[in-house]
Amino acid sequence: MNELAEATGADSQSEVVRRALRVYDYLISEREKGHTLVMKSDDGEQLIPLI
């Protein structure tokens, strides 16, 4: 958790959790709209669904 706080510039672990929950909420709402989040390889050949 400390590494995430440092990497994101969060002031506390609580802020890391709050940010993570906001991102998760956004991703779920986009999925409910029919969107898919994918991870794409650099060459664009491989798409891995994440959520």
pLDDT at 26: 95
pLDDT at 11: 94
pLDDT at 19: 96
Asked if residue 48 lies in contact with residue 38, where contact means CB atoms within 8 angstroms, the answer is: yes
pLDDT at 20: 96
| 2-45 residue pLDDT tens | 999 999 999 999 999 999 999 999 999 999 999 999 999 999 88
Q: How confident is residue 50, by pLDDT bands cut at 50, 70 and 90?
A: confident
Cα 37 to Cα 27: distance, rounded to the nearest angstrom: 8
> DSSP letters along 18-37, please?
HHHHHHHHHHHHHHHTT---
pLDDT at 6: 92
